[in-house]
Each structure stands twice: as C-alpha cells, then as structure tokens.
Chains A and B, each alone.
Chain A
Amino acid sequence: MIYLDNAATSWPKPPEVVQSMTDFLRHAGGNPGRSGHRLSIEAARVMYDVRESIAELLGAPDPLRIVFTQNVTHAINTALLGILRPGDRVVTTSIEHNAVMRPLRALEKEGIRVTVVPCAPDGSLDPADMEAAVAAGARLVVINHASNVTGTLLPVPEVARIAHRAGALLLVDAAQTAGVVPIDVESSGIDLLAFTGHKGLYGPPGIGGLIIGDRVDVREMEPLLRGGTGSNSEREEQPGDLPDKFESGTPNGPGIAGLGAGIRFVLNQGLDAIRAHEVGLTRMLIEGLSEVPGVHTYGPSDPWRRTAVMSFTVRGRHVSEIGMRLEEEVGILCRVGLHCAPAMHRTLGTFPEGTVRLAPGIFTTAGDIEVALSGIKRVVRG
C-alpha cells in the first residue's frame, strides 16, 4: 500500500503521537482548569505546553492568544462569524476551500459583502488584483496559504501588507501548510491563522486551532460557543480573557497531547528538511507525470511554489475510474473529485469532474513515487 492522501489527513502518525495520547488518558486525565487536583493540573500543564510548542513552530508571539478548536473549519468559522458584521466587506480568492466559502456564502445572506479575487489557472494570485479588490475598503481579507487541490502557495506577507494598507485584517487558512512550509505569524503580518492538527502537524483528527494576533480587538469578537471555562465561574456571562473566551466546554485533552507530540516530531525533523523532502517528491511527480501521454497536470511547474499536492486528469477517462484502479491494481490510496473546493476547480477548469490528487508526506519515499508513477502509466495505458 502506498498512502498518497496526506492532504486529506496524514498517515501514518509518528509512534510518539499515539503514545502521548495514551499517556494523557492514563496520567493526566483530569479536566484542565476546572479542579485543583494533580490530574487536573497535569492536564492544564500539557495543554499549556502545547500552546508554547505551537507558538514556537508558527511564530506566534503570545501562547495565550492561541485558541484550540476541533479543526481548521471550526477555527475559520470562529474568525469569520466572530469578526464580520452586516455591512462589512470581506475579500477572498478563487482558490478557497469550502471551509471558507460556505460560511462566507451564509454570511452574504446576512448582509456581508463578499468579493472573490480570481486567480490564474495554476492557482496563483496576482497581488495587483488583490490590491484593486481591497481598494474600496474591507474589514477582512481571507486567503488560503496553499490550495488543497494543486498546492499552489499564495504570497502571504505581500497580501498582509495590502490588507493592512486598506485597513483590513488578514485571516490565513493554513490547513495545508502548518508543519509543511515555514510560517511566522508575527513577521508575516498574519492577524488570524487557522490550522488543523491532523495534516502536516501529524496529530490526530479532532484538534485544530486559531492564532489571534494583537491587531485583532478580541473585545469586539464574538465567540461561536458560550459555556463553562473553569474561569470567572461566579458570572453567567462569557469571560473576555483569552484563550477561555473561545474555549467553552471540556477540551480534547488527548487530541491536544497528540498534537503536541506531532509538533515536536516536526520540530525534531526540521521544517527545512521536511520541505526539501516533499519538494523532491513533488518534482518527481511533476516530471514523471509530464511523460505520460494523455495526462494533464495542474498547478505551478516549480515545486518550490507549491506544497506536495499534485492533481491530474487523464484525457477521456473519469477520475473515479483512475482512482479506483490505482488502489485495486497498484495499491495507491489517493483522493479523486472536487476535494471540497469547487471554487478552485472552477479556476482550474476541472469543475464538475474534478481531478485525481496525489499527496505524499514525510513518510513517503522516492521509491514509493517511482512505483506510483509506473503504476499510473499502466492504468492510463488501458
């Protein structure tokens, strides 16, 4: 079996991720911040240590402004629904995932104006187009750091400067890039960074987070959920302190512990080494697929301008047939279709059929890619 679906969720997980989750349940099983006994304190300590690890990896200046969520979708919704009000304008791009587009289309019905900046057919964004779109003013700019269909990277620092010049905040969807591409929230000018734990951070599903920069006035930001936080318990109103304002209810302790172990794995491997490994595999895919007659690939030809995500189609063949045969005949696990990103597929010209997507990860070897390429050639031939 060759697992090439790391853009959906990374697999396998490092053994220390599994171990840390077991350890949490065995030795730190209290409810953090609720009680004062040793198991509760240990759970709170684990959670705080993971906040510090996130801050270290992603360049966030204040661990207390990192809010744990269920996943990146929850984090994006927390930001969008917390900040935007009727009459506001939000600017986004045509490569976004439905985690952004669906809440925005719902907000549009409540009087929030949504502008979508078109990207090029390889998914790249011309900053001049973004500048023109925000010239009329905007409350928020939302961009995908990298497309989940082609891996195309958007120029975050440049968009941040453009957004700030227009008086807008910048929200970045880092679902595909946290743990894969170097990110520095503070120096890049990112105001809100939404991430998930189960992809490039090698944690389990069910945990993600939102980093809130100091340009965001959290007093004006409404939480998605309200409830018990273990703090200010004498009051029936939601506390305003971070991270508690956005973390009502018992947190996913084992998930957070697993995320922490995943981040330590990434830090130990080294982000530059991970990136170089994945760029090498992506280059193999770009070059190898270009030699297969009838195959059309999508995204930038330079592997440094994308993450390790490769979409392709085969002339005259359905992507579902290709995906099924790749699993049955070659043992490749991948994902076909629209990848929850219809906007991106319209940009690529692959809507509504979609593409076959190959997404290697840190545990994928060059030998795996060679086997995959030769298997793809066989399947495409007949």
Chain B
Amino acid sequence: MNSFGVVLLPTASAAMRAAKVLGSASVRCTLIPTPRELSKDCGLALRFDWAQAERVRALLLGAGVQNAELHCL
C-alpha cells in the first residue's frame, strides 16, 4: 500500500474542524480511527495524501487549528 499522511489532533472536535478546513480547500481527507502505532488515543484522526503534506500543514496553521501533528505512514 502507498504511504499516506495522518493528522493527529487533541480532540474529536478539533478533528472535525480540521476536516472542514481541508474540505473547504478541496483537499481530500478521510476521518479514521487514530492509528494505534501513532497514539493509544481512542479518538479520530485525518487521513490524507502525503504529497499534500505542506499544503495541509499551511491550511491548518492558517485556520488556527492548534496542536496538529502530521505523520507519514
């Protein structure tokens, strides 16, 4: 399987906000259960195409989404 990016956020609400920010910028992303290799958290994370990582990072920063961690899996 190709590598993909995951955004980890501190709360499910923050994940929803991030999904809206990326969706409104036409960046394809999917809400997924947080991958266990990244966190023991039982919450939500965002999956996206890692090739878009810099754009995702900039969009989230620009929208004031705090404490977003980007990982490549």
Q: A residues within 8 Å of B by Cβ?
A: 32-37, 40-41, 44-45, 47-48, 51, 62-64, 229-234, 239, 241-244
Q: CA of A241 to CA of B12 in the docked complex: distance in angstroms? A: 11
A230 touching B14 by the CB < 8 A rule? no
Give A40's nearest chain B residue, CB to CB. B44
Q: CA of A231 to CA of B33 in the docked complex: distance in angstroms? A: 12
- Given A64-B11, A230-B43, A233-B42, do A36 and B33 touch, yes or no (CB 8 Å)? yes
A44 touching B34 by the CB < 8 A rule? no
Complex partner residue of A44 from B15, B32, B39, CB under 8 angstroms: B15
A231 touching B40 by the CB < 8 A rule? no
A231 touching B10 by the CB < 8 A rule? yes
**Residues of A contacting B: mostly:** loop
Q: For this complex, into which size category does the number of interface residues on chain B fall? A: 20 to 34
A48 touching B42 by the CB < 8 A rule? no
A64 touching B14 by the CB < 8 A rule? yes
A234 touching B44 by the CB < 8 A rule? no
A229 touching B11 by the CB < 8 A rule? yes
B41 touching A233 by the CB < 8 A rule? yes
Chain A residues with CB under 8 A of B33: 35-37
The answer to the question of B17 belonging to the interface, with a C-beta cut-off of 8 Å to chain A, is: yes
Give A45's nearest chain B residue, CB to CB. B16
Chain B residues with CB under 8 A of A41: 31, 44
The answer to the question of B52 belonging to the interface, with a C-beta cut-off of 8 Å to chain A, is: no
Complex partner residue of B17 from A36, A37, A64, CB under 8 angstroms: A64
- Given A35-B33, A36-B31, A36-B34, do A64 and B42 touch, yes or no (CB 8 Å)? no
B40 touching A239 by the CB < 8 A rule? no
Give B42's nearest chain A residue, CB to CB. A233
Shortest CB–CB separation between residue B30 and chain A, in angstroms?
9
Give B35's nearest chain A residue, CB to CB. A36
Q: CA of A37 to CA of B14 in the docked complex: distance in angstroms? A: 17
Give me 20 A-to-B residue pairs in the complex whose CB atoms sit less than 8 angstroms apart, sorted by A's number.
A33-B12, A33-B43, A34-B43, A36-B32, A36-B33, A37-B33, A41-B31, A44-B12, A44-B13, A48-B16, A51-B13, A62-B64, A230-B11, A230-B43, A231-B11, A231-B12, A233-B42, A234-B39, A239-B11, A242-B11
Complex partner residue of A33 from B11, B32, B64, CB under 8 angstroms: B11
Q: B residues within 8 Å of A by Cβ?
A: 10-17, 20, 31-34, 39-44, 64, 67
Chain B residues with CB under 8 A of A47: 13, 16
Q: CA of A288 to CA of B39 in the docked complex: distance in angstroms? A: 66
- Given A36-B31, A234-B40, do A239 and B16 touch, yes or no (CB 8 Å)? no
Chain A residues with CB under 8 A of B15: 44
Q: CA of A230 to CA of B32 in the docked complex: distance in angstroms? A: 14
- Given A231-B11, A239-B10, A244-B11, do A44 and B16 touch, yes or no (CB 8 Å)? yes
B10 touching A232 by the CB < 8 A rule? yes
Complex partner residue of A48 from B17, B32, B39, B64, CB under 8 angstroms: B17
Chain A residues with CB under 8 A of B16: 44-45, 47-48
Q: CA of A230 to CA of B39 in the docked complex: distance in angstroms? A: 12
Shortest CB–CB separation between residue A271 and chain B, in angstroms?
25
Complex partner residue of B13 from A36, A40, A64, A234, CB under 8 angstroms: A64
Q: CA of A201 to CA of B49 in the docked complex: distance in angstroms? A: 41
Complex partner residue of A231 from B17, B43, B64, CB under 8 angstroms: B43
Shortest CB–CB separation between residue B61 and chain A, in angstroms?
16
Q: CA of A231 to CA of B43 in the docked complex: distance in angstroms? A: 6
